[in-house]
Chain A
Amino acid sequence: MKKKILSLMFLVVFAVSFVSIQSGFAKDKEPIKVGILHSLSGTMSISEVSVKDGELLAIEEINANGGVLGRKIVPVIEDGASDWPTFAEKAKKLILKDKVDVVFGCWTSASRKAVLPVFEKYDHLLFYPVQYEGLEASKNIIYTGATANQQIMPGVEWLLKNGYKKMYLLGSDYVFPRTANLIVKAQLKAEGGILVGEEYTPLGHTEYSTIINKIKAAKPDVVFSSLNGDSNVAFFKQLRAAGITAEQIPTMSVSIAEDEIRGIGAENLIGHFAVWNYFMSMDTPNNKPFVKRYKKRFGQDRVTDDPIEANYFGVYLWAKAVEQAGTTELDAVRESLKGLTFDAPEGLVMIDPTNNHTWKVVQVGKVNAEGQFDILYTSDKWVKPDPYPPLVSNKVVIEPGKVVEIKK
């Protein structure tokens, strides 16, 4: 009897210790969960699906090289459905239910503004990959796309330097184009440009003949366009039908990248300009293999563009930060992200330690017949991000999440 109890106790102890060893072992090798939150349906899916693919490619590559801290990365993919409240809801689900360590996602400023309170409330981290209007610097967001002084402002500067002085501003009617044009107007005033017209149309607007006539009458040197989405198709088709070529009046777009050119049709866009930080046609040591891997993974007809690349290196930056911190714990990751550099397809990039935006090069391209950009200008060196340009704002960022007003 005594023997029996003893052996039973032994068995129990053995079992318990086995389980605890097992679980300790599992904790080491337990995969790291990351959230991916983009519109996979609805009007924005045209752009966001490709960004999701870029993020997945980075995750797969990291996993193939042994993962992070010896653990595999497992993506949890959610669909924001081009609907801003859904974005907020899904962000909450990723943080609270799936308990992911970081989220990569969003495209429109509207969706970012919708999830921002969620990330601040639960003190979590989002990597946001798209150029935007600036005037934000949350400690819960890493901005891997350009802010105003890395896209809009150098774009205008380049135009003015190249003799395009008279500008016509055309944009979709929501927060990004209106803020962008506010900056452009201040810049025209300060740098000697002339504003000859300004026009906003609702998202999804399709009748551009009158606006094209206005452009004709105003005789601008260039149209600065922040039109978004499908309106671009109607605008460029009708511009061409009205007999206006890019030689006569070119446009400078801030929302048309390689992926959008496919939708609008390269023949409608030949000779028009765009300003970005990354072009698929860039001749850097890292870009060619990146484009090749992306095409191999998702199809030969696919293209890479600026926002795709931005969160591709966003994933790598995060992985590097985790590796350096030795943990996925948020504060430590945030600390090691400060000033962290990565050799991205566009060249060396760095997370700014005070405002969480990314140091990156600025380039101007011209659309060619293949739907690619011929690069006309590059800043060569990376440009320091300034989400609160002094031209339109009297605020400065002193540390992530802390913005103060300064007296002029």
Chain B
Amino acid sequence: MSPEIFISQIFNGLSLSSILLLVGLGLSITFGIMGVINFAHGEFLMIGAYSAFITQSFFIKYLSADLLGFYFFVALPVSFIIAAFIGFILEKFLIRFLYGRTYETILATWGVSLILQQLARNIFGANNVDVSSPTWLRGGITISEGLQLPYNRLFILAISTICIIGMYCFFYRTAKGRVIRAVMQNRTMSACLGVPTSKVDAFTFALGSGLAGIAGCVVSLLGSIGPSTGQNYIIDAFMVVVLGGVGKIVGTIAGALAIGISSSLFEFITTSSMGKVIVFSLIIVFLQWKPQGMFTLKTRKLD
């Protein structure tokens, strides 16, 4: 492996990690705070991706061509808001009845996932649709001959870094974040102290869904969008959460980096299917050694 190839593989790994991170973050906090295993999380990614598509179509139809380059800046918040809103509705009408019943949430959210996929199929058709990247995201920075870093992947890295910093500040620097962390650590005690836990739950679920929406918006830059787009990422995202440890931002970051970079390196050395096998085997071995994942949330709860 020449140094250029090695560097660009590390870069590809980082790029994959950044997407997994955005998807995994939402999963991690919903699981951490509510004990809900959300199999429909990938569908929020899909919703985000279709939101980007809708925004683009809107720009093409109603606004002048010069503005088309900026549609993506509109698409990002739109994806976040739509995914968060649908997440909020889902929490209000379904998830909140299932708190504390982890296994039922698997079945229920899996059903929701199927419903959302079929809904997308009915609304947008079975064929995949395509978002064309804004012109300023085409091409890339040429570092040396044989090493070019695509702008769109750099952009995705930047977006997810911003999201992580934002989430970190929100969780550790604001009153609302403190409340969420309190509920995560000890729900009953927080409730006793006057924290409106059901409101916190709804808010957190919407936030997690919104992050998946942003992830969907950025993956639309890489390929086409279809009703089953979310399915491509959900398993890896679960792995990120399990490996990193539930409910910790730093754990999710570590898990995403570990899986993203090792996937791309192993895929390079072997084949795409074999690379996955190796990564998953390593995860299993690691979890035998540390069943709680890389980072664990310290609580006073007796499990």
Contact = CB atoms under 8 A, between A and B. Distances in A.
Interface in A219-247: 230-231, 233-234, 237-238, 240-243
A327 interface: no
Interface magnitude class on chain A = 35 or more
B268 A243 contact: no
A331 interface: no
A14 B120 CA distance: 62
B178 interface: no
Contact of B127 (A45, A216, A231, A234): A45
B128 A213 contact: no
B222 A206 contact: yes
Interface magnitude class on chain B = 35 or more
A344 B30 CA distance: 61
A243 B142 contact: yes
B114 to A, nearest CB: 15
Given A217-B5, A230-B224, A265-B132, A211 B272 contact: yes
B21 to A, nearest CB: 15
A240 B222 CA distance: 11
Nearest to A231: B223
Interface string B217-255: 001001110101100100000000000000000000000
Interface string A31-42: 000000000011
A243 B139 contact: yes
Interface stretch (B88-96, B148-156, B180-188): B148-156
Interface in B112-156: 126-128, 130, 132-133, 138-140, 142, 146, 148, 150-153
Nearest to A45: B126
Given A41-B126, A82-B126, A243-B140, A206 B232 contact: yes
A200 B271 contact: yes
Contacts of B229: 206
Interface in A163-181: 173
Interface string B1-26: 11001001100100110000000000
A210 B150 contact: no
Contacts of A213: 5, 8-9, 12, 268
A172 to B, nearest CB: 11
Nearest to A206: B223
B5 A216 contact: yes
Please indicate which of the listed interface residues B128, B273, B275 has the most CB atoms of chain A within 10 Å of its own CB. Answer: B128
Nearest to B264: A210
A207 B267 CA distance: 11
A202 B132 CA distance: 24
Interface string A179-217: 000000000000000000001111011110111011011
Contacts of A43: 126-128, 226
Contact of B1 (A199, A202, A217, A240): A217
A209 B268 CA distance: 10
A263 interface: yes
Given A200-B271, A213-B268, A242 B150 contact: yes
B276 to A, nearest CB: 10
Nearest to A232: B224
A202 B267 CA distance: 14
A46 interface: yes
A12 to B, nearest CB: 58
Contacts of A201: 272
A211 B275 CA distance: 12
Given A200-B271, A201-B272, A210-B12, A241 B138 contact: yes
Nearest to A49: B127
A207 B224 contact: no
A238 B5 contact: no
A43 B5 CA distance: 35
B232 A199 contact: no
A233 B224 contact: yes
B73 to A, nearest CB: 19
B65 to A, nearest CB: 16
Given A230-B223, A230-B224, A230-B226, A210 B9 contact: yes
Contact of B272 (A205, A233, A241): A205
A233 to B, nearest CB: 4
A207 B16 contact: yes
A317 to B, nearest CB: 30
Contacts of A238: 150, 222-223
B271 to A, nearest CB: 6
Contacts of B16: 207, 209
B268 A210 contact: yes
Contacts of A264: 130
Contact of B267 (A173, A206, A210): A210
A199 B272 contact: yes
B192 to A, nearest CB: 47
B2 A217 contact: yes
Contact of B223 (A41, A202, A210, A234): A234
A240 B127 CA distance: 23
A263 B225 CA distance: 12
A173 B148 CA distance: 28
Contact of A42 (B126, B133, B148, B150): B126
A211 B5 CA distance: 11
A264 to B, nearest CB: 8
Contacts of B5: 213, 216-217
A214 B132 CA distance: 25
Nearest to A47: B127
Nearest to A173: B273
Given A45-B126, A233-B128, A242 B222 contact: no
24 contacts: A43-B127, A45-B127, A82-B126, A199-B271, A200-B273, A202-B273, A204-B228, A206-B223, A207-B222, A207-B232, A209-B153, A210-B275, A213-B5, A216-B5, A231-B223, A233-B223, A234-B222, A237-B133, A238-B150, A241-B133, A241-B138, A241-B150, A263-B224, A265-B130
Interface of B: 1-2, 5, 8-9, 12, 15-16, 126-128, 130, 132-133, 138-140, 142, 146, 148, 150-153, 219, 222-224, 226, 228-229, 232, 264, 267-268, 271-273, 275
Given A264-B130, A265-B130, 4 more contacts: A211-B267, A211-B272, A213-B12, A233-B130
Interface of A: 41-43, 45-46, 82, 173, 199-202, 204-207, 209-211, 213-214, 216-217, 230-231, 233-234, 237-238, 240-243, 263-265
